[in-house]
Every structure is written in structure tokens, then in C-alpha cells.
Amino acid sequence: MLKMSRSSIARVAAIFPCTHRPIGSPRADGTTARTRPPPTTCSTTTWTCVLIPNASGSAARVRCASRRGVMASRHFRSSWQSRWRSHRFSSPVFGKVLGLRVSGQSNVLISLPQSVPRDTEVVLEINYSSKLPAQSIDREALGVTADPQQATDPLGSLSQDRPSLPEPRYLYSNRVYWYPQASITDFATASLRLTMPAQYQAVASGSLISSTMSPMADPTGRSGEVRSERTVRFMADRSVRYLSCLISRFLSVGRTQARVPALAPSMVAAPPGAPPAAATSVNVDVVATPRLLRANRALPDRTAQMVEFFGSVIGEAPYPDFSLAALDSELPSGHSPAYFAVWNQPTLPTTLSWRGDPVSLNGYPLFFLAHEVAHQWWGQAIGWNNYHEQWLSEGLAQYFAAVYAGHDRGPDLERALFMQMRDSAMDLSRHGPVHMGYRLGHVEGDSRIFRGLVYNKSAVVMLMLRGLVGPEAFNRGIQRFCRTHRFQKAGTDDVRNAFEAETSRPLGRFFDKWIHGFLLPQVRLTWRMADSTHLAVKVEQLGETFDFPLTLTIQHADGRLELIPVAVTEPVVDVVVPVPAPVRRVDTRNDTSLVVVK
């Protein structure tokens, strides 16, 4: 066997037909018994492989890793573990070839029937299968509302007969070791073909291209019974970071279309070589498990409204199709890969166990759905460079969910939601900066710290930035950032550059203090009547200088309240406010900034 040589690198196209077969035994009532997770055989990609021929050139050791930008980049290496029970190797040129796994290593030994010169392109078809547990999304749970009826029936039409056991479901996404998961995610287009028993349906990353039924022999091979199976094909012609699919017993709730206005070309200039403009209309398809069908009849129109609102503020929708799957569950949770989202709705109220969670926000039961829809832009169309930058996904999704709530129910609700986020963020900020990402709360063993800071604090930071630069400039900055980094990974500096370009003001200190730091500014607020019609207010920072907006609440003599925004960017800021008569009080009761007022 020759030693490995860097010059022996060749390109191999490995074609993996991907099917998922959830196994279940039908009951008399038509439901399916919960059983072990389905076996899996997987999908298609192009690999760059090192071929190490032996002395005669008739055998080669293959060590695979994909080219940059191709789905499932390095996961192939870690997939060849003992749990993979069967695999076959063949080639369009050589037919079936012998492939042997190297025990204890991430290598496969391929024996070729004849000599192959180095740098020869070899196409291998590799089929493998095993039992693969589905992914749980409980760790992504976003809390519940305090109202038990809203907790089980967020659209207000509660079903009277809802058993507590959820339908079986099989989620394969970025946290489960199935073939399309990439060790290092990058953007790529892809196609996905799934095969399952006929009573199951699927949503997946991509537009649905076809759905066909065909006979399926008894998988046990004992009874000889022939059943039907469903094969669906999805095409992701817009780049995605990773492939996902969800398989369960779904019924169609409804379909509609969301219209998303295109940004004016002069508003945001895309860089050379940027992806083409994204969708200006989105096909919205909502499915639900049978128990949730009636409770979610209004969900298609509501989901389309969210897509349209986000598109009007952020810009074109990144994907032309969006499917929403409403699942009955024991705990509230959500997950939003490209092209679709999962919304777990509790079958029983679980308020008490979530009441103290930072993301258990009261007052708007659709908040968490809006958060998942917003992830199509933040986290999917735009990824993050590394775990330090995860706030770009969770914080911006959290921010836009609150903004949508304000659009839907009014500014008072938006302010109330941000104040809840602010309170939890201020309480937890001492644990570390947002930039620590998933490490927040790791030592303490408390995931609430991560959610309170990466979700809530970063959302409030975006609100403060809007208060500093103004709503119009803020929206332009968001649109520039989204346009120039669509289908790319980004970081904090990219956000800062986009806003600096639109506002012509330096924002380095703002992001350094609020994203990379954990301290909170402390200020002293004093006020006096300069004369009978002018109010003088002084805001004095007591420690390090931060940049933030501060909302003053002025209580006039007649009891009327007036809100005055003040941009605080210096150690001392003096403000003179014209008033019709002497005022009763000045305070910050309606302020949403992360500021300690003495």
C-alpha cells in the first residue's frame, strides 16, 4: 500500500439516494403506534477524495471531504460508525465494487477491478442504511403563554377533545447525525427525496416537486403483505445552510400566497457576484396533526401576514415556498430550517414550568410563531460566522417577532414585550457578554442565561440602535445588511458596517459595549423647570460612557403623559423640553433600554 500523497487527490461524485421509512403499526382507529425511529439511507453530493492505490493500482483507500459550498461537507467521515448496519458500493463504470470499512477509523477501503491512474475522476454510488434516532427540539423551546386556553389553542378556537399523547414525528435536521448534516455548514442548493409509508407526509428544505404512491412490501419480510408508500421530492434551488425534513401524520390546513414587495434597486446595492433577487411572492402551506386541525384554521392567513410584514421591512423573502407544520406536543418548542418551520403546541397547559423562563413572554400567544417565521431571514438566509455571532439569528428573530406584535396589536404591546426582554436581560447580564454565545450559562448549568442574553438582550440592543439612528435609517441598515449578506455567513462587524454606511456615524463603541461587553450603564437623572414653559433635564453617566436612547416620561400638570426620546452618547447630556406649564414628574418608567437609572 502506497503512503498518502497530496498529489493523489481526485474528485468523486457520491450519489446517495435518501429515503426515510418511519415504521408504525396501524391501530383500528387509523392512528399509528409509536415505534422505534425509522431506518435511514441518504442523499447526493460531490466529494473530493484522496485515492491511495496499492502497488498494482487495483485498490485504493478513500478518505472523503466535500468541496466548499457542497452540502454535507465533512459529515461523511463521522458517519461510518458501528451503527451503520449496511452499505453497498458501485460505480457506473465498474459496477459493484468491494468496499470495506477500516475498524476504528473514518475510512473506507474501495477495491477497484482494474488500475485507475491518479487524478482520474471516479463516480461512486454509495448506499447505506441504519436505525437513526430523530431529533428533539425541546432545547429550542421558546416558552408558553400564561393563559391555559391560549397555551393549547393559540388561535382562539380550542378543541374540546385533545388527547395528551402527541402524534409520532421524525425530525432530521442540524442536530442529528444523518447524512445531509454538514460538520461545517455552508450554503448550497440541493435536492432531497424521501420515501415513507403512505399514512405519513413530509415537509422539508425545498419546494415540493413531486409526490407519488407505489406498492411497498412488508418491511419485516414475513407476512408478505403489500402496502403503499409515498415518495416525495423537494428541490432547494435557493441556497440553504443545511437540509432538514419532518415526517409525521399531517392533514392540510390550507394554502395561500404572501406578496412581498421588492426593494427599490437604488435603495440597497448588492455587491458584485451576489445572489439574484429573492422571491417577491411566497407560497405558504400549513399542515397540522389531526388533533390540531380545527384549532389552526386561521393559521395560513396569519402566517402569510407575517411573511408579508417581514418582507416589507427586511426585503425580499429568501425562499419562494414556506411550509408550517403545527404539531401537538408535551412542551412548547419551535424549529425553523430553510423553507419550513415546526411549531410545537402543548396538548396540556405547562405554564408553571415555564413561567420564569426569559422567553416566556406574556400577552401575545403568536409571538413564538413570528419568531420562527423570522428565522427564514435571520439564521437561514443569513448565517453566522461562528457561535459568537449566534445573536444575529436569535436576537434579530426575537426583535422582529416583537415588532410584528406591535404591528398587529399596537405599540403598547410592542413596548411591553421589549420591557419583559429588558428585565430578564438586565438581571442576567452579569453572567457575560452576548458574544459568548452558547457558553453563556454553561458553567452554571442554566440555559435560561443563554436565552436571556442571546435572545433577549440582543433583541433589545437592536431596539436601542433603532432609537439612536431613527426608524428609517434603521430599516435601511437592515435592508443593506440582508441584501449584501444573503446566503452568506456574517458577523457583528458586518452588521456595524451596514448601519454605518446608512447612518454615516461611527457605531464601533455601541457594538463593543453592548455585544462584546457585559456591563450596564448607570445614569443619574435630574430635572428642573428652567422657566414656566421650559423643562431642563440632565442625564449623567456615572461610569463608562455608553451609547443608548433613553425615553423620558413627562407627567404634565393635567395628568397627561408625554414620551420624549433622548440620544445619550456623551458622559453628560442636557435637554431642554418646551412645555405648556410646570410638570409634575419626569422619570423613565416607559424606557426599554438596558440602563440602570439612579
Between 20 and 365, the more confident residue is 365
Q: Which of 198-207, 270-279, 576-585 has the weakest average pLDDT?
A: 270-279
Nearest to 48 by CA among 76, 25, 23, 20: 76
Tell me how far apart the terminal alpha carbons of the chain are, to the nearest angstrom: 75
**Quick one: pLDDT at residue 129?**
67
Nearest to 192 by CA among 340, 90, 317: 340
Residue 141 has phi, psi (to 5 degrees) of -60, 140
Mean pLDDT calculated for residue range 356-380: 90
**Quick one: pLDDT at residue 415?**
96
CB atoms within 10 A of CB 35: 11
Predicted confidence band at 183 (pLDDT cuts at 50, 70, 90)? Answer: low
Q: Are 404 and 417 in contact (CB under 8 A)?
A: no
Q: Does residue 558 surpass a pLDDT of 80?
A: yes
Whole-angstrom distance, CA of residue 416 vs CA of residue 588: 14
Whole-angstrom distance, CA of residue 241 vs CA of residue 427: 34
DSSP 305-318: HHHHHHHHHH-SBS
Q: Are 582 and 557 in contact (CB under 8 A)?
A: yes
**Quick one: pLDDT at residue 164?**
56
Mean pLDDT calculated for residue range 530-559: 97
Q: Does residue 391 surpass a pLDDT of 90?
A: yes
- The b-or-e profile of 462-477 (16+ CB within 10 A means b, else e) is bbbbbbbbeeebbbbb
Predicted confidence band at 106 (pLDDT cuts at 50, 70, 90)? Answer: low
Q: In what order do the strands lie in the sheet with 534-541?
A: 572-578, 534-541, 522-531, 596-597
Between 161 and 466, the more confident residue is 466
Whole-angstrom distance, CA of residue 573 vs CA of residue 552: 13
Between 60 and 164, the more confident residue is 164
How is domain 414-517 classified at the CATH fold level? Answer: Neutral Protease; domain 2 (1.10.390)
Q: Does residue 357 surpass a pLDDT of 60?
A: yes
**Quick one: pLDDT at residue 570?**
98
**Quick one: pLDDT at residue 224?**
62
Please check whether the domain covering 522-597 is classified as CATH 3.20.20. no
Average pLDDT across the chain, whole number: 79
341 contacts: CB under 8 Å, gap ≥ 6: 322, 323, 324, 325, 334, 335, 369, 372, 373, 375, 376
For residue 117, what is the enclosing H or E element? none
CB atoms within 10 A of CB 23: 17
**Quick one: pLDDT at residue 529?**
96
Q: Does residue 23 surpass a pLDDT of 50?
A: no
DSSP 327-354: EEESS-EEE--TTEEEEEEESS--HHHH
Predicted confidence band at 517 (pLDDT cuts at 50, 70, 90)? Answer: very high
521 contacts: CB under 8 Å, gap ≥ 6: 541, 543, 544, 545, 546, 548, 594, 595, 596
**Quick one: pLDDT at residue 420?**
95
Q: Does residue 206 come out as left (phi exceeding 0), alpha (psi in the -120 to 50 range) or beta?
A: left
Q: Which of 145-149, 270-274, 385-389 has the weakest average pLDDT?
A: 145-149
**Quick one: pLDDT at residue 95?**
87
Q: Are 4 and 50 in contact (CB under 8 A)?
A: yes
Tens of pLDDT along 129-175?
667 778 876 444 443 333 333 333 433 333 344 445 678 889 999 88
Q: Which of 161-170, 231-240, 519-528, 564-573 has the weakest average pLDDT?
A: 161-170
Mean pLDDT calculated for residue range 303-323: 96
- Compute CA 404 distance to the chain's CA centroid, rounded to the nearest angstrom: 17
Question: How much of the chain, in percent, has pLDDT values that exceed 70?
Answer: 71
Residue span(s) of the chain under CATH 1.10.390.10 come to 414-517
Whole-structure pTM value: 0.78
Residue span(s) of the chain under CATH 2.60.40 come to 522-597
Tens of pLDDT along 293-302?
999 999 999 9
Predicted confidence band at 464 (pLDDT cuts at 50, 70, 90)? Answer: very high
Whole-angstrom distance, CA of residue 351 vs CA of residue 332: 10
Nearest to 15 by CA among 120, 91, 101, 73: 91
Task: Report which residue type is found at 501.
Answer: A
Tens of pLDDT along 409-432?
999 999 999 999 999 999 999 999
Between 104 and 72, the more confident residue is 104
DSSP 27-39: -TTS-B---SPPE
Whole-angstrom distance, CA of residue 586 vs CA of residue 598: 13
